[in-house]
Amino acid sequence: MTQAAPTRIALCCSHVEGATWEAQLRSALPDTAISTWPKADPEARCAIVWSPTQAFLDAHPALEVIFNMGAGVDALLRLQLPPQARIVRIEDGGMAVQMADYVCHAVLRHFREFDVYAGSAAAGQWAPRKPRFRQDFPVGVMGLGALGRRVAESVAAFDFPVLGWSQSPKQIEGVTCLHGADQFDRFLQGTRILVNMLPLTPDTQDIMRRDTLSRLLPGAYVINVARGAHLVEDDLLALLDSGHIAGATLDVTREEPLPAGHPFWQRREIALTPHIAAQTVVQEAIAQIAAKVQAGFDRADLPGAVDPSRGY
């Protein structure tokens, strides 16, 4: 009796703890032949990657499926991939709850003026302020995918009015769902706290710029947890100066790490974090990928497969 050849997986995780990933992958897929970059397996049809280099892709011309260890695939799509290769991304994998934590915290910190109270406390002042009403702070979530949907539902659970905007129509309890270019204006004009959960594509790059941000309700607040290139940074600064925008929480910036001397460091209205809103949970990501490999990584309807024509 002939034995089926083992699946061969090329692993590339140059920027993270490669040894941990490899150990977890071997235990999830014991019958798999794994080669860890910089060791190459030119015959591997399947790869698991985190920030791969072009050299890795060039050394693996037979790849049919590339599992990305994150949700965003914009950086991967900028590389030259083997023409037959499909990209499969992590769907949630423990990131949606982290995004919900992060965004709810940012919304509540702004709405309840916790930064103002922290300033008063530091100055030794007992200084109550008038209550604000959540009806005056509608939250608009751009992108209602694996992460954005959970974010919109979580914010709605705090009784804020919530609008959502996506490419195709959606139904989410407690969320007014709008879609497409035709309804973008209505979405912006009804939003005071804007949350960006879009993938970075040619259609969404620079989507937060002067003319779009100007259509938000006055005293708007911007929370960007997707990609830095969604936001035109000088336009945000100009609208902060004009008072139209009250502040921002930014987990991502156009250049990362944010360079020393960048004006964002000096703005007290901007809260910065170093791209940590939702981090890959290695165990869950490996389990998700292993299940897809076991179900047949060459099936046509592989869940999480990226549509290259849409860019996400």
Residue from 8, 227, 268, 310 carrying the catalytic annotation = 227
95 binds ligand NDP (CB under 6 A): yes
Min separation Cβ 103 and ligand NDP, Å: 10
b/e per residue 95-109 (b: at least 16 CB within 10 A): bbebbbebbbebbeb
**Smaller CB distance to ligand NDP: residue 72 or 247?**
72
Tokens of 145: 């995918």
Closest among 71, 61, 122 to 92, alpha carbons compared: 71
Say how far apart CA 118 and CA 60 lie, in whole Å: 53
Give the whole-angstrom CA distance, residue 161 versus residue 107.
12
293 vs 1, 157, 172, CA distance in Å? 24, 36, 31
Q: Is 179 a catalytic residue?
A: no
Q: How far is the C-alpha of 240 from the C-alpha of 235, rounded, in Å?
A: 9
Nearer to ligand NDP, 43 or 91 (CB): 91
Selected range binding ligand NDP among 118-126, 141-149, 232-240, 295-303, rule: CB under 6 A: 141-149
Which of the 8 DSSP states describes residue 291? H
Closest separation in Å from C-beta 121 to ligand NDP: 30
**Subset of 18-37 contacting ligand NDP (CB under 6 A):** none
Q: Which is nearer to ligand NDP, 87 or 144 (CB)?
A: 144
Q: Order across the sheet with 65-68: list the strands.
A: 33-36, 8-12, 46-49, 65-68, 86-88
105 is an active site residue: no
C-beta neighbour count of 87 within 10 angstroms: 20
Is 252 a binding residue for ligand NDP by CB under 6 A? The answer is yes
Q: Residues in contact with ligand NDP, total (CB under 6 A)? A: 30
Decide if 284 contacts 93 (C-beta within 8 A). Answer: yes
249: contact with ligand NDP by CB under 6 A: no
Span of 61-69, 75-83, 163-171, 295-303 interacting with ligand NDP by CB under 6 A: 163-171
Interface mask (CB under 6 A) for ligand NDP, residues 143-162, using x and -?
xxxxxx--------------
Q: Which stretch binds ligand NDP (CB under 6 A): 4-12, 32-40, 69-77, 111-119?
A: 69-77
Instruction: List interacting residues with ligand NDP (CB under 6 A).
Output: 70-72, 95, 143-148, 165-168, 197-201, 203-204, 225-227, 251-252, 275, 277-278, 312
Catalytic residues: 227, 275
